[in-house]
Structure 1
């Protein structure tokens, strides 16, 4: 599996605050029944300092913008793509789509035209206007978006830029139809929520002191209960069939002792059974909404509801689970499972 993920905080009131976005993409690599085949590639390496961040620093650094683009991106990307064309005797017209990483939309369009591509029909959307520039994940996310629309037989040119250029010739196979059910880029964009204020953004980015008690954790507790905390496993009583979380020695329903089957609950959905709202709580997004979820197939879970609009919460609303960062304590970053409205 290849995973690309990035979250780059931008310095407040900088131009990058409106440009940057967060995102991730993942691909399974194999040699049989593939949805996309790699038919060729060309790679160049260049120790070109354009964007970097020192260890321990919160915000990134960048060289002078015009220098970075003209001496770096605009120079090396066309050279690499031209070398790929020559190596495999190809032209721009041989490709259905060009997936081209770029520092901004203007440079992407400029280079695509220079390489002979039709920017109206062949150039893949950069996602800058809907997601933002997601750094490491930018080009992989564009590739995912292109594959969501691709048809068997399509040929894609995938070009990424970072300390050099990687260019790949990709062919879409019949197997692409088997992965159409992914939520992907379209699904996430269709179900995204807008933050109501800049203050919300500042609090979510931990750029504003909000106070409140610090969380608690211990390494031995995380080790002892990792199947419940990280994998979100519960258990099913072999005597009465009741599903319970957290795991206990005695069944809450039939009082059988120690006769359970461990089961996974992280992929379950269900309706909201009850909920409450707390207007004064140490969370970045008030009110804090707590819900009891009735899992499909049995079991209940009491947790926080995130990615929600308090005005639309109601009994019976379908929710799913999501793995989220909770707090840092004792030098440990703690994650746990929360509920959120089901995304399309």
Structure 2
């Protein structure tokens, strides 16, 4: 293989439901621990944006550091002053592949909203790879064939009290691929085997899925895993991988993994339980968060067959790790009542607010304002430097006309200048908090505060923009940016 992973990122939503709360509500034995759940204003698209931002920001940070190092070398007449250029800069992303089993839209490409939110150039190809847990591997392979970005995200919903509900989790993972000589982990070998049998399925339009008897699926998967594992290890001449990652929608496979396919240093799966198409990415990211250089990682994804991928980490891993590990993200969650979670997922039909329904977002104004609405990009006056949020043609400060340059803010933190807490306006997670934010690079605008930040918010609080869904009307999702307290 001649490609590898340049950067990666994960996103775990901020909310958790305690299984004890679930059990008490439904009067069942639900076990111990908690489950990661997405907020009412999150879907697979917004989760994907959050994970991809982490990966791209990490890559850009390394590129910026190397560019500065090259500039210093050039000023000093160093040996690489005339030639050194980061390969990630020389080979930008050419394609984005989005994998999910829970797309926000059908008959419309969801990856285009991710593309817009990330502010990628129009020439970057974007496509969905949706429908099954194996979609995550499909996105990986497509992106790894060149300088691609693979993003996988899912919101797993099970029937109340089911094993799917208790053992699932919502999350996203993103990987940027590129030249192997600049990778944090190189792809050493791949092998796949495909088989048709009924293990897990969900009818189109259904909220929750179904699974055949666990033992039947396990009997089908074991020989497939053995075959793919043996083939990929034979290709690489690796006898015993340092780390083995096993993911599967069949829980029997996961129970068997540690005894049947152990790694020399670790054997693991998804840190949040079954997360659909995001399973493989989240499980790999958790290993990359802790692995050392020159270690081998064997990925085994058993879903409608088995896909085996062998990686070898490089000495670049330490500088490329995501800033907040998956384990740290998992530990940071805050509890939400189980009944509230059911309402967010539409499984508990509560009395709606006695207010007019919101208007369906219109396509023409959304298209005209796509840079602002999806990428939070304002404009900066080239005459006086004043930043306009949203963008404007006429400068409010000096009056210059059409003398503007782009001012992206999606990856920029800010400070709260003032805020209001509205306890009367309807929200699935009251109260509604609106904050006036001064961005570090200039510009001021008002954003809603997400993820229950009212108790932690104060004038001077530091916040960060997050891509969310304001509401859905007439089958159209109204995406925009909110803020979360750091």
TM-score where L is the length of structure 2: 0.64
Query: Which residue of the partner structure matches residue 299 of structure 1?
Result: 443
Structure 1 position 150 matched with structure 2 position 291: yes
Provide the alpha-carbon RMSD of the alignment: 2.2
Cα shift readout 1:61-107 (whole Å, capped 9, x = no counterpart): 222233223x233343234324444555543xx22111111347764
Query: Which residue of the partner structure matches residue 138 of structure 1?
Result: 279
In structure 2, the CA distance between the partners of 1:31 and 1:254, relative to structure 1 (3 Å rule), is closer
* TM-aligned CA deviation for residue 304 of structure 1: 0.5
Conserved 8 A contact 2:249-2:303: no
Q: Between Structure 1 and Structure 2, how many residues are aligned?
A: 333
Cα distance in 2 for partners of 1:82, 1:66 equals: 23
Cα distance in 2 for partners of 1:225, 1:89 equals: 54
Question: Helix, strand or coil: the match of 1:325?
Answer: strand
Q: Which 10-residue stretch deviates more, 224-233 or 185-194? A: 185-194
TM-score where L is the length of structure 1: 0.88
Cα distance in 1 for partners of 2:421, 2:250 equals: 42
Query: Which residue of the partner structure matches residue 186 of structure 2?
Result: 37
Cα distance in 1 for partners of 2:459, 2:251 equals: 44
Q: Which 10-residue stretch deviates more, 109-118 or 326-335? A: 109-118
* TM-aligned CA deviation for residue 45 of structure 1: 0.4
Structure 1 position 316 matched with structure 2 position 460: yes
Query: Which residue of the partner structure matches residue 155 of structure 2?
Result: 7
Conserved 8 A contact 1:125-1:142: yes
* TM-aligned CA deviation for residue 247 of structure 1: 2.1
Cα distance in 2 for partners of 1:340, 1:309 equals: 7
In structure 2, the CA distance between the partners of 1:96 and 1:249, relative to structure 1 (3 Å rule), is same
Counting only pairs closer than 5 Å after superposition, residues 214-293 of structure 1 correspond to structure 2 as 214-293=358-437
Which one has more relative contact order, counting CA pairs under 8 Å at least 6 apart?
Answer: 2
Cα distance in 1 for partners of 2:238, 2:399 equals: 71
Unaligned segments of structure 2, at least 5 residues:
1-148
Cα distance in 2 for partners of 1:288, 1:116 equals: 49
Q: Which 10-residue stretch deviates more, 299-308 or 322-331? A: 322-331
Query: Which residue of the partner structure matches residue 111 of structure 1?
Result: 257
Unaligned segments of structure 1, at least 5 residues:
none
In structure 2, the CA distance between the partners of 1:240 and 1:104, relative to structure 1 (3 Å rule), is same
Cα distance in 2 for partners of 1:289, 1:278 equals: 6
Conserved 8 A contact 2:414-2:438: yes
Conserved 8 A contact 1:215-1:327: no
Cα shift readout 1:104-145 (whole Å, capped 9, x = no counterpart): 776424233123546xx4212531xxx232111112211011
Conserved 8 A contact 2:300-2:309: yes
Conserved 8 A contact 1:271-1:317: yes
Question: Helix, strand or coil: the match of 2:451?
Answer: coil
Conserved 8 A contact 1:325-1:334: yes
In structure 2, the CA distance between the partners of 1:312 and 1:88, relative to structure 1 (3 Å rule), is closer
Cα distance in 2 for partners of 1:227, 1:324 equals: 15
Structure 1 position 100 matched with structure 2 position 246: yes
Question: Helix, strand or coil: the match of 1:266?
Answer: coil
Cα distance in 2 for partners of 1:191, 1:104 equals: 28
Cα distance in 2 for partners of 1:113, 1:216 equals: 53
Query: Which residue of the partner structure matches residue 204 of structure 1?
Result: 344
Structure 1 position 64 matched with structure 2 position 208: no
* TM-aligned CA deviation for residue 235 of structure 1: 1.0
Conserved 8 A contact 2:214-2:250: no
Conserved 8 A contact 1:218-1:330: no
Q: Which 10-residue stretch deviates more, 101-110 or 30-39? A: 101-110
In structure 2, the CA distance between the partners of 1:268 and 1:126, relative to structure 1 (3 Å rule), is closer
Question: Helix, strand or coil: the match of 2:484?
Answer: strand
Conserved 8 A contact 1:269-1:296: yes
Cα distance in 2 for partners of 1:315, 1:191 equals: 23
